[in-house]
């Protein structure tokens, strides 16, 4: 295995949530899993070596995040987005993106506060807001022939109704948009006008197709950065979700302090994940080439699905994607009840996909296919979905 090769990992024997959990639950020998947001590629060699190095040193106690950690984050953001942060003053670690999000919700909002999200979006957004006693305001995205856009007048209406916070997903899971500078600028202007805080989940920021660009909303200006906390992790882009490690960037010292106090409440104020630190350093310093190979493969997989569906599943629209590793497909022409679609695909074709109905307004009747897998799996999956389409059209 060369340093930057893309290596497929087996579908059995690794106790993965994406595969083994579903195989056990369904008992299907020929099951194909395109659900859980993990890749079927081994994590990059520099990350694996860095983790082995930690083990080799024999110390698994509380780590000290070294200058190398902060420098890696600073240099990576500057190199890839031109955002020049003082990492020592505005970066803080946590135990995964959603723990970061929880601390932000806990400290910057109160029960009953309204939080606006663009839907459809990853199901945890709505669920976490609801389970923590805050109120979800859904602002549905608009789509024209599979190209998704923000409806800025309805976003403004959401803010007029008194939103405390806007929870952005950039790039956006599941529809695969990497929001443009112009779109982010418009969001920023509305948030300033209505005094709305921004929590930006940028976990997919490295997975942007060639010709497109990731822009952190906080990098637009200091003024915007002062109302923003940005969430990062190596988890999605380098396939390290099992490490449960993340970090935030908050340039506003007040927000940074309040966030830190919230960490203290749950004992997360010190000594976070020794493996996560090592993985972050290796990812940002040594894995640019690996990531570009992954992106190339995902783009190839995406174009295969788009072409295959256009030819064989006429009427199923695959959204225009420019980021993430998902194909977002409009299956509404089948007229299957939206609560049934993933169940029927599982029962009849032995395929696991995510049902769009759980992703908020605008998701019913859609499915999300995880493309970070082998070309062979995708070819077989596409063939079975064609069969499903044929059985249910008419």
Ligand X SMILES: Cc1ncc(COP(=O)(O)O)c(C=O)c1O
Question: Per residue in 274-297, is it b (16+ CB within 10 Å) or e — as a string?
Answer: bbbbbbbbbbbebbeebbeebbeb
Nearer to ligand X, 98 or 194 (CB): 98
Helix ranges (DSSP H) in 135-231: 152-160, 181-193, 222-225
Number of alpha carbons in the 13 Å side-chain half-sphere of residue 76: 24
Residues 18-57 that bind ligand X (CB under 6 A): 37
Contact between 233 and ligand X per CB under 6 A: yes
Contact between 369 and ligand X per CB under 6 A: no
C-beta separation of 97 from 201 below 8 A: yes
Contact between 96 and ligand X per CB under 6 A: yes
**CB 121, min distance to ligand X, A:** 7
Helix/strand/coil for 251 = coil
Residues 323-352 that bind ligand X (CB under 6 A): none
Contact between 201 and ligand X per CB under 6 A: yes
Contact between 313 and ligand X per CB under 6 A: no
**Of 203, 224, 248, 385, which one interacts with ligand X (CB under 6 A)?**
203
C-beta separation of 205 from 216 below 8 A: yes
Contact between 370 and ligand X per CB under 6 A: no
Closest CA to 159 of 113, 127, 123, 125: 113
**CB 177, min distance to ligand X, A:** 12
**CB 217, min distance to ligand X, A:** 15
Q: Tokens at residue 268, please?
A: 């997360």
**CB 372, min distance to ligand X, A:** 12
What is the C-alpha to C-alpha distance for residues 2 and 7, in angstroms, rounded to an integer?
10
Nearer to ligand X, 98 or 166 (CB): 98
Strand 91-94 and strand 32-33: the pairing is unpaired
Contact between 249 and ligand X per CB under 6 A: no
Q: Judged by CB under 6 A, which stretch of 44-52, 90-98, 285-293, 306-314 contacts ligand X?
A: 90-98
Contact between 98 and ligand X per CB under 6 A: yes
Contact between 234 and ligand X per CB under 6 A: no
Helix/strand/coil for 134 = coil
Task: Note the residues at the interface with ligand X (CB under 6 A).
Answer: 37, 96-98, 122, 169, 173, 201, 203, 233, 235, 241, 246
């Amino acid at each position: 295995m060369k340093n930057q090769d893309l290596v497929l990992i087996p579908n059995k024997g690794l106790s993965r949530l994406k595969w083994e959990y579903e195989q056990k639950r369904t008992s299907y020998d020929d099951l194909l899993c395109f659900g859980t947001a993990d890749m079927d590629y081994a994590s990059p060699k520099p990350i694996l070596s860095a983790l082995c190095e930690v083990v080799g040193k024999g110390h698994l106690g509380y780590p000290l995040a070294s200058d190398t950690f902060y420098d890696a984050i600073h240099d990576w953001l500057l190199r890839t987005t031109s955002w020049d942060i003082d990492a020592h003053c505005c970066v803080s670690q946590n135990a995964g993106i959603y723990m970061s999000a929880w601390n932000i919700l806990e400290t910057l909002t109160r029960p009953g506060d309204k939080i606006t999200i663009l839907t459809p979006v990853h199901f945890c957004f709505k669920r976490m807001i609801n389970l923590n006693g805050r109120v979800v305001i859904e602002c549905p995205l608009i789509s024209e022939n599979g190209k998704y856009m923000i409806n800025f007048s309805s976003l403004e209406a959401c803010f007029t109704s008194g939103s405390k916070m806007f929870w952005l997903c950039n790039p956006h899971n599941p529809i695969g948009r990497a929001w443009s500078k112009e779109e982010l600028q418009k969001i920023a202007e509305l948030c300033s006008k209505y005094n709305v805080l921004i929590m930006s989940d940028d976990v997919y920021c490295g997975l942007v197709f060639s010709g497109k660009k990731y822009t952190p909303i906080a990098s637009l200006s200091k003024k915007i950065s002062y109302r923003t906390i940005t969430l990062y992790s190596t988890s999605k882009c380098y396939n390290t979700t099992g490490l449960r490690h993340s970090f935030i960037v908050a340039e506003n010292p007040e927000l940074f302090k309040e966030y830190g106090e919230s960490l203290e409440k749950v004992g997360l104020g010190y000594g976070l994940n020794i493996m996560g630190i090592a993985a972050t350093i290796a990812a940002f310093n040594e894995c640019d080439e690996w990531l570009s190979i992954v992106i190339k493969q995902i783009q190839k997989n995406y174009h295969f699905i788009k072409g295959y569906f256009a030819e064989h599943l006429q009427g199923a629209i695959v959204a225009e994607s420019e980021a993430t590793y998902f194909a977002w497909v409009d299956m509404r022409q089948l007229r299957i009840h939206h609560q049934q679609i993933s169940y029927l695909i599982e029962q009849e074709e032995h395929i696991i996909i995510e049902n769009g109905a759980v992703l908020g307004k605008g998701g019913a009747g859609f499915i999300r296919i995880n493309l970070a897998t082998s070309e062979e799996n995708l070819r077989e999956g596409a063939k079975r979905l064609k069969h499903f389409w044929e059985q249910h059209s008419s």
